[in-house]
């Protein structure tokens, strides 16, 4: 092949390489920007979760008791068993008189009581309604900000919106890692230690799992 015919092939390869470099760099920095704050949060809470046994938490408990008006109590109706959300009238009244947000979560109904579990990140809560007297008892326990952030890390009792956020965050992390891998491959020729470091990142956790996790 003559030098004149080889030149266009080299130029074409360089243009193709330049295109992929620009594209990969663009997706890499966009995904890293999307991941940045959440990655910091999940990294820090990974440490706090790993050392949760030595991080002391002092639970704080709030207990409130109120009396439900007869008109609101009547709105509970005749249901005596099963699981169903509270009527809107009852939920609205509870939202007004207690520091609680009654949504559409199901309550446990019996002939004597309606019990509603209200789990939340970093704590727990519950509410009971005496169907004969209208006595309402509400209790909320909070274990502090560290427990709150740890539960966000696990997606515990954080709701559907947070679960969707974790899924989108995970997709952004995949894009960040995959584009980073391709960029490593494209620069590996100029950086001889690239693949040894990648291999170390694979072998080290594998050896730890095989040797120390039983």
E strands, 37-112, in order: 60-67, 83-84, 107-109
Asked if 72 and 91 touch (Cβ cutoff 8 Å), the reply is no
Ranges under pLDDT 70 in the chain: 1-8
Contacts of 186 (CB under 8 A, 6+ apart): 17, 20, 21, 24
> Global pTM?
0.80
Distances (CA, A) of 36 to 45, 90, 172: 14, 42, 10
Residues 6+ apart with CB under 8 A from 33: none
91 phi/psi in degrees, rounded to 5 = -60, -40
**Calpha distance 184→178 (Å, rounded):** 10
pLDDT digits (tens, 9 = 90+) for 73-99: 999 988 888 999 999 999 999 999 999
């Amino acid at each position: 092949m003559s030098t004149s015919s080889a030149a266009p092939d080299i130029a074409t390869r360089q243009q193709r390489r330049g295109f992929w470099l620009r594209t990969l760099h663009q997706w890499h920095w966009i995904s890293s920007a999307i991941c940045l704050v959440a990655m910091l949060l999940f990294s820090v809470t990974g440490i706090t979760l790993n050392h949760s046994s030595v991080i002391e938490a002092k639970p704080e408990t709030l207990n409130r008791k109120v009396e439900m008006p007869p008109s609101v109590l009547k709105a509970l109706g005749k249901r005596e068993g099963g699981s169903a959300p509270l009527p809107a009238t009852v939920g609205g009244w509870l939202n007004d008189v207690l520091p609680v947000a009654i949504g559409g979560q199901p309550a446990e109904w019996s002939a004597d009581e309606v019990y509603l579990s209200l789990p939340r990140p970093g704590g727990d809560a519950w509410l009971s309604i005496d169907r004969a007297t209208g006595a309402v008892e509400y209790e909320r326990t909070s274990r502090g900000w560290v427990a709150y952030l740890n539960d966000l890390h696990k997606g515990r009792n954080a709701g559907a919106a947070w679960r969707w956020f974790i899924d989108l965050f995970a997709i952004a992390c995949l894009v960040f890692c995959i584009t980073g891998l391709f960029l490593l491959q494209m620069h590996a020729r100029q950086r001889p230690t690239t693949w040894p470091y990648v291999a170390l990142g694979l072998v080290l956790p594998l050896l730890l799992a095989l040797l120390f996790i039983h």
